[in-house]
Amino acid sequence: MPVIQRMRRSWIYPRHTAKGGQPDLNRAVFVGDDRDVLFRYTPTGAGATGPWDFLAGRTGYIQADAANVFDRLLDGQVATAIELGCWAHGRRRLVALRDTDCRVAYPLKLIGRLYRIEHLADAQQLTPEARAALRQARSTPVLAKLSHWFVATQQSEPPSTELAKAAAYALNHWGALTRFVADGRVSLDNNLCEQQLRDIALGRKNYLFAGSHDAARRAAALYSLTRTCAQYGVPPLPYFTDVLTKLASGWKAARLEELLPPRWHAPNSSPETARGP
């Protein structure tokens, strides 16, 4: 079971919807421990057919946006997972005000400092333990300043203003947003999951509809493999050419795991040389 389960949902259109209506079909992407990507298609966007079903019983971390559909995974109704906040979402409301309210420059500067600390940890190739120590020494004071600003803003601003709403969002999810400090294995945001959806966005420009529910499921499987290839540095065209050839030649079902991107290597090459840079 992955330590971190990142999740993001995306609307797709396997068939035409009524004029002016909302799409009633959903695709979710899950990323486990940074590398293993799974797209999962469900006929509706309801939690019962999506995250509640797939992540039932989850006890580890879940990193997603703060949509209410995930609440049952955190409160014991479906799972007792641990929520990780996303600072990309936490700063989004502030970024939207950047051109109209100069007061957001200060919290955005502080959030940027949190990311610079992460870049320092990356550059030094710190272990999770050392990263957590760095965060506790440098990120904690930054978070204290952010908390003070959000509290002061919420108390001084009328609740209906966008600035007050931005502060309220951060404070309502403060525990999840600051949980990264104690564990160097987790990240500040869910951007890795967001990146996997770029293929979906590109596809919508070229083929708006999947055609059927079965076609949407097959597309989800292909997206899962191509994006996992990308995470492991496996070239997708040689991978699919080799895997499909082996399957057509009667590859045994008991050995299917050997064909997954993390374990695959190109014909006539070693596992170390099969992957890209």
Q: What is the spatial distance between Cα 232 and Cα 76, in angstroms, rounded to a whole number?
A: 34
Look at 82-91, 178-187, 206-215, 234-243 and tell me which has the smallest mean pLDDT. Answer: 206-215
Q: What is the spatial distance between Cα 37 and Cα 29, in angstroms, rounded to a whole number?
A: 7
Q: What is the spatial distance between Cα 70 and Cα 9, in angstroms, rounded to a whole number?
A: 11
Residue 10 has a pLDDT of 46
Contact assessment for residue 186 and residue 179, using Cβ atoms and an 8 Å cutoff? yes
Q: What is the spatial distance between Cα 53 and Cα 222, in angstroms, rounded to a whole number?
A: 21
> Which residues make Cβ contacts (< 8 Å) with residue 261, sequence separation at least 6?
225, 228, 229, 231, 232, 234, 239
> In the chain, pLDDT over 70 holds for what percent of residues?
81
Residue 155 has pLDDT above 90, yes or no: yes
Q: Distances from the Cα of 105 to the Cαs of 47, 95, 108, 192, 243, in angstroms? A: 37, 9, 5, 25, 51
Q: Distances from the Cα of 129 to the Cαs of 19, 51, 121, 176, 184, in angstroms? A: 54, 30, 11, 20, 6
**Per residue in 70-123, pLDDT tens?**
778 888 788 888 888 999 999 999 999 999 999 999 999 999 999 999 999 999
CA angle 223, 226, 232 (to 5 degrees): 135
Residue 22 has a pLDDT of 36
Comparing 104 with 11, the larger pLDDT belongs to: 104
Q: What is the spatial distance between Cα 260 and Cα 267, in angstroms, rounded to a whole number?
A: 14
**Per residue in 192-231, pLDDT tens?**
888 887 777 776 667 667 778 888 888 889 989 999 999 9
Maximum average pLDDT range among 59-68, 114-123, 201-210, 252-261: 114-123
pTM for this predicted structure: 0.79
What are the residue ranges spanned by the domains of the chain?
A: 4-84+192-202, 88-174, 236-277
